[in-house]
Amino acid sequence: MGLRQIALGGLLAVTTAASVLSPRQNINPGPVSGDTFIHDPTVIKTAAGTYLAAYTGDNVQLKTSTDRTQWQDAGPVFPNGAPWTTPYTGGALNLWAPDLSFHNNQYYLYYSASSFGSSRSAIFLATSPTGASGSWTDQGLVIESFADSGWNAIDPNLVVDAQGGWWLSLGSFWGGIKMVAIDPATGKRADSGVPLAIAARPDAGGAVEAPFITRNGDFYYLWVSFDKCCQGAASTYRIMVGRSASVTGPYVDKEGRQMMQGGGSQVMSSHGAVHGPGHNAVFTDVDGDVLVYHYYNDAGTAQIGINLIRYENGWPVIY
């Protein structure tokens, strides 16, 4: 999610050697209009054919669209507040990095509660029959981290593997990206063991976060964001990806470098009036897989970015 980096002692953005997937990277976002401010977006296409987005904001914020282009604000997930999160937020209303999906005839929303620069964090689950503001029921704590955990329980993403198993990836800085098994019957952790490590940047100040896992063909793709978010037009966030034949890894980039050792192939970075693109999600629409992310415009305002994805030689290309 990136906001807590502000308190991490002025961390310098470290750019290590990373492969670039295609010279066609760094194209501009597709057209959007209306209420286009967003941060840490997640989007799902509903059964009615409309689009529902959730993003970081007070009590988690929602947007809707009928055409994937024109967006309008749709209120908070929790209009009456989320007091159960205050042990992690210190009373702040801002809740981070939601993740939307639809299973078991209901919408699932995983979301994060923390404070800047802290690994005393938690991921919660809420469910809804409609996805609308005020329709969400919090289902409680999924996983938490502590000051001495060595990892951070934020930035959740749920993926269902080819065998029907549920997995939640999560993490930011500290020990990197982790994964835990989820019970499909409850949406909660299936065990209480040590989370599995799937990506890290030990030589870059730990600057990796915002995991999102997708599946296409024979591969699972682990999307992450490298470097520094949340500095407006000075942000150095960039979208990276690796792949694996197994949902639990090991994930490698196009050059075969392990993502546990800082590997990752660059998909998009700052260019022109697009600053610090990152914290992406992917969903499938009638015209293919869709990449959604935030970036900062020249004025430093976070905007929704949307592009399509195609696959060439087993690797995603943005267009």
At residue 240's C-alpha, the angle toward residues 76 and 152, to 5°, is 55
- Nearest to 117, CA basis, from 5, 271, 229: 5
- In the set 155, 209, 227, 253, the catalytic residue is 209
Please state the three-class secondary structure of 255-279 as a single string.
CCCEHHHCCCEEEECCECCEEEEEE
- In the set 40, 99, 155, 227, the catalytic residue is 40
Query: 270 vs 134, 148, 229, CA distance in Å?
Result: 36, 34, 11
The residues pairing with 196 across neighbouring beta strands, listed in sequence order, are 179
d(CA 277, CA 226): 10
Listing from the earlier edge strand, what are the strands of the sheet with 137-145? 57-58, 94-103, 106-113, 121-128, 137-145
Q: Is 289 marked active-site?
A: no
Q: Is 255 marked active-site?
A: no
Active-site annotation, residues: 40, 209
